[in-house]
Amino acid sequence: MTNPFENPDGTYLVLVNDEGQHSLWPAFAEVPGGWTVVVPETDRQSCLDYIEQNWTDMRPKSLIRAMEAEDEPAAAG
């Protein structure tokens, strides 16, 4: 049986969560709670291209904010 996330002939969605994390998702599967479709059903490579171009920082948004908050007092002082 082929892994549904690796089927080159399958159709996929790109999902994004509140943390800005992206996911390649099989089009036949229900979208999990907390995730939003940002690329509608299309071929796998188009989804991977979108993810590569748009998810350039793998850190969750909450981590980015925390790291920026840590840097602020040092910059002010």
The residue extents of the domains of the chain are 11-76
Check pLDDT > 80 for residue 8: yes
Instruction: State the DSSP code for 55.
Output: -
Please state which CATH class domain 11-76 belongs to.
alpha beta
Q: How far is CA 65 from CA 24, 25, 70, in A?
A: 25, 27, 9
pLDDT in tens, 36-56: 999 999 999 999 999 999 999
Report the predicted TM-score, pTM, of the whole model to 2 decimal places: 0.81
Q: How confident is the model at residue 68 (pLDDT cuts 50, 70, 90)?
A: confident
Q: How confident is the model at residue 1 (pLDDT cuts 50, 70, 90)?
A: low
What pLDDT score does 73 carry?
Answer: 67
Check pLDDT > 80 for residue 10: yes
